[in-house]
Amino acid sequence: MPLFEYRCNECGNEFEVLIRSQEKASCPQCNSEQLQKLLSPAATPASGGDSLPIACPPSDAPPCGPGCCRMT
């Protein structure tokens, strides 16, 4: 199931949704089906194997939430 990003043309909400075959996405905020599919950047592996992207918090920072890029 691919994960797609959308922007709602009615309310401007941006969201991600898993779409199964033949399903139609709708805005979770206003239920509109008038959506614009957004282009997501492709994930690229970090060079050197263990290096982290520059935007990651330092290793001594408090734990971060879901989707955190910091390795533990």
Domain boundaries, the chain: 3-38
Bigger pLDDT: 66 vs 22: 22
Does pTM top 0.85 for this prediction? no
At 9, list the tokens: 């043309």
Note the pLDDT of residue 14.
93
Is pLDDT at 69 greater than 90 in this prediction? no
Secondary structure of residue 7 in the 3-state scheme: strand
Give tens-digit pLDDT for 7-55: 999 999 999 998 888 888 999 999 999 999 998 766 666 555 555 455 6
